[in-house]
Amino acid sequence: MEKGNLLVKNASELVTVSGYQAKAGKEMSDLHIIENGTVVIENGIITQVGKANEVVKQIDESKYHVIDATGKAVLPGFVDSHTHFVFGGYRPDEFSWRLQGVSYMEIMNRGGGIVNTVKSTREASKEKLINEGRKRLDSMLTFGVTTVEGKSGYGLDYETEIKQLDAMQELDQEHPIDIVKTFLGAHAVPKEYKGKEDAFITFMIEKVLPEVAERKLAQFCDIFCEENVFSIEQSRRLLTEAKKLGMGIKFHADEIVQIGGAELAAELGATSADHLLQASDQGIKDMAKAGVVATLLPGTAFSLKESYARARYMIDNHCPVALATDLNPGSCFTESIPLLFALATLYMEMTTEEAVTALTLNGAAALGRADKIGSIDVGKQGDIVILEFPSYNYIPYHIGVNTVEKVIKNGVLVFDKEKKKEETFKF
């Protein structure tokens, strides 16, 4: 029996989310569900999708691993399209300070925050970063994540930025989760460049970006475009250079202060603009017109006690919305997909259907991969999640609890709640 040949049959709901590009507006509500559905995967690629009684008749079951999904919902693997999962050290003290009323930006301006993690990440060996990163990936897999985006940005120097990207490259090769790498060399201003932000951007453009592009260490370039961090002009300069080198663009925009990040994303044709808590009406409309995905990170708004991004306004104005965790050691330390569903549905006026689309097909689009992942369609990777309940509706309803029973990556069972890790990988 070929590895990656798998038949998942009789799903009470086969939630295909069908599509090959980002969905906007009302399209986000249509999950293209097949009742009593079956999926056939051959050599890791989906080859048939349909009603069980139609598909199974023509299939020789002895050639496949077979999973009977009677009474269970089957969905595309989740795509967590914005994380900072490779880092050294932790910052629990900052969480306590925030509880006492000190803001995230105040902590950063006092010399804490991101640069604190920069210190421990510079000190950590690549092996240490890999070992810690692996544990976080293992945890994400249990939540049904089959593709994750990971950023550098805790080096802010040549060696450490490259070390972080190399660590992710190695993890990508060894771990079932696919990793899409983003270069975030301009995540904060390091001590040695305080007051010399323009020179720091020049350093990134001249000394680090070319190597990242040349060695294909990252597919995307990111920047923390924010008041008192990097300006619109500095962001435009770095991102334009990245684009010239053939990289995609996705960046932290209009998170704390409205400075025109959404407008810049539209102007540059970014793949996504992320956070957007303060994005203007015009910026959102510009993004919709330019087809930029709005990647919303409600875990961060929740953890920083900020108001949420205006998902309803964005969707109603045809801007495609994706949801992601933003897992990082500072503003939002979580890999929890159930938390995202809870926040999106209960606090952001998103329907459950929209949240499912945002975490699958639109997440894939935020990584430029909607043609390969994010839905259960013929020709896509066999990345699939099986819930322990009969409907996708149970995901937000079972508040904050993981409802994922099995995860399949490229047609191979890689997580099963009922089995130990060693047994699962032998499947």
The contact set with ligand NIG (CB under 6 A) reads 84, 113-114, 117, 224, 252, 255, 300, 326, 328-331
396 vs 340: CA distance, rounded Å: 9
**Minimum distance from CB of 332 to ligand NIG (Å)?**
6
Residue 331's binding partner among Fe ion, ligand NIG, none (Cβ under 5 to 8 angstroms by kind) is ligand NIG
Residue 12's binding partner among Fe ion, ligand NIG, none (Cβ under 5 to 8 angstroms by kind) is none
- CB neighbours of residue 400 within 10 Å: 11
Q: Which tokens in the block code for residue 383?
A: 């990345």
Nearer to Fe ion, 34 or 324 (CB): 324
Nearer to Fe ion, 178 or 326 (CB): 326
* Nearest Cα to Cα of residue 78 among 169, 180, 181, 177: 177
Q: Are strands 412-416 and 404-409 parallel, antiparallel or unpaired?
A: antiparallel
CB neighbour list of residue 96: distance below 8 Å, 6 or more residues apart: none
**Minimum distance from CB of 409 to ligand NIG (Å)?**
26
Q: From the centroid of its chain, how far is CA 39?
A: 25
Residue 335's binding partner among ligand NIG, Fe ion, none (Cβ under 5 to 8 angstroms by kind) is none
Nearer to ligand NIG, 298 or 330 (CB): 330
- The single-letter DSSP state of residue 404 is E
For position 226 contacting Fe ion by CB under 5 A, the verdict is no
**Minimum distance from CB of 255 to ligand NIG (Å)?**
6
249 vs 405: CA distance, rounded Å: 35
Residue closest to Fe ion when measured from CB atoms: 326
Positions in 304-363 near Fe ion (CB under 5 A) = 326
Task: Rounding to the nearest 10 degrees, give the CA dihedral for residues 68, 389, 371, 85.
Answer: -120
Taken in order 133, 138, 143, 145, the sign of the CA dihedral is: positive
Contact (CB, 8 A) for 149 and 367: yes
First-to-last alpha carbon distance for the chain, in angstroms, is 11
Residue 396's binding partner among ligand NIG, Fe ion, none (Cβ under 5 to 8 angstroms by kind) is none
**Minimum distance from CB of 330 to ligand NIG (Å)?**
2
For position 222 contacting Fe ion by CB under 5 A, the verdict is no
Nearer to ligand NIG, 176 or 329 (CB): 329
167 vs 125: CA distance, rounded Å: 10
For position 255 contacting Fe ion by CB under 5 A, the verdict is no
**Minimum distance from CB of 212 to ligand NIG (Å)?**
19
Total residue count of the chain as it appears in this document:
427
Residue 78's binding partner among Fe ion, ligand NIG, none (Cβ under 5 to 8 angstroms by kind) is none
**Minimum distance from CB of 290 to ligand NIG (Å)?**
22
Residue 353's binding partner among Fe ion, ligand NIG, none (Cβ under 5 to 8 angstroms by kind) is none
Interface residue list for Fe ion (CB under 5 A): 326
